[in-house]
Amino acid sequence: MKCLVTGAGGFIGGHLIEHLLASGCTVIGTDIEAGPVCRVLRHASFSFVRSDVLDAEGVKALIAEQMPKIVYHLAAQSFPSASWQSPLRTFDVNVRGTVHLLEAVKGTGTKVVLACSSAEYASKADDKPISEDWQLDPLTPYGVSKLAQDHIGLLYADRYGIPIVRLRPFYLIGPRKTGDMSSDFARGIVAIERGKQSVLKVGNLDVVRDLLDVRDGVAAMHILAEKGQTGIVYNICAGMGYRLSDVLDRFVGMAKAPVCVEADPAQVRLLDEPVKIGDNRRLKELGWSPKFLLDQTLTDILHFWREAK
């Protein structure tokens, strides 16, 4: 099976490429930069093509040349906080870039796996898992851009008959990720172990998040590419919540040096949802189940940062 992965230079893209290659697929990775995995990956069934989703003609030519059976569309400005500083860039990449891709695949028979986001969902006042039918009311420009991307995918599937499967991942964590709380905790602990800092500063530890190992997440994407239905949207999530204080305690328990934790008001987000847990029953009905326990994921994250230069 010939697959094309946009956003191949990113955290999820790199793990997805490794999973697809291990599953026997031929993979073309595309991005504006190769990223850590694509730069070092040497595999007979993998090639990297520099491409920008904002270049409509370039995307069209790429699809016409490669003719993939499946496109995993991961290319995005994927940081909610950055969307406040760069809302136009966020909408350009996430919305206009998606339109360029969908225009390019019209009439080709190529299936599109469209990575949308749990950031589309409205906040909930309770801790019940969020199903795919829950109200959509995003809190950030990023979430609004993903909602637009999601709806454009649905429109193109209806109007042009493009087989499009829409996904809403929650919080995918794992080795090689940067800029999230799990990597920040791990990097801080490693810095303390190396004597480079004395205190681990943290934000709000009372929030509860649905944390899923990225390797389980990309396995879900692969299953949805094979079994997901056009017109249906699927959550990708663990289906359970973890309080960040508990996650930190687990990291601290693995530390090789005493860790002093200090609250830092500057790290508290103004629009942080207190609880966000996904309902993964629709995904599980297709035969998927997570393989990685949280402790294994956290161990692997900590090991990655201990090995980093």
Tokens of 150: 């999601």
Cα–Cα distance, 226 to 20 (Å, whole number):
12
126 shares its domain with 182:
no
Q: How far is CA 298 from CA 162, 253, 288, 304, 305, in A?
A: 39, 11, 22, 10, 11
pTM of the model as a whole: 0.96
- Predicted confidence at residue 64, as pLDDT, reads 97
- Token pair recorded at residue 165: 């499967």
Are 137 and 47 in a shared domain? yes
Q: Is 302 in the same domain as 205?
A: yes
Count up the domains in the chain and report the number: 2
- What average pLDDT is seen over the chain? 96
Mean pLDDT across 22-43: 93
Contact 47, 2 (CB under 8 A): no
Q: What is the CATH number of the domain that holds 266?
A: 3.90.25.10
Same domain? For 16 and 110 the reply is yes
> Is residue 224 domain-resident?
yes
Identify whether residues 160 and 261 lie together within a single domain: no
| Judgement on whether residues 222 and 75 belong to the same structural domain of the protein | yes
Which residues are CB-neighbours of 232 under 8 A, at least 6 positions away? 132, 165, 166, 282
State whether 260 and 215 are in the same domain: no
Q: What is the pLDDT of residue 140?
A: 95
Q: What's the rounded Cα separation, in Å, for the pair 15 and 219?
A: 9
pLDDT per position as a tens digit, 156-206: 999 999 999 999 999 999 999 998 999 999 999 999 999 999 999 999 999
Percent over 90 (pLDDT), the chain: 91
Q: Are residues 12 and 130 in the same domain?
A: yes
Indicate whether 21 and 77 sit together in one domain: yes
Q: Which domain holds residue 193?
A: 175-209+240-274+292-307
pLDDT tens digits for range 92-147: 999 999 999 999 999 999 999 999 999 999 998 888 999 999 999 999 999 999 99
What value does the mean pLDDT take over residues 284-306? 97
Q: Are residues 112 and 227 in the same domain?
A: yes
Pairing mode, strands 208-209 and 242-243: antiparallel
pLDDT of residue 270: 62
Structural domain includes residue 152: yes
Convert the pLDDT of each residue in 258-284 to its tens digit. 999 999 888 877 667 899 999 999 999
179: in domain: yes
Considering the domain boundaries, does residue 286 fall inside one? Answer: no
Task: Write the CATH number for 26.
Answer: 3.40.50.720
**Residue 281 forms part of a structural domain:** no
> What's the pLDDT score for residue 266?
80
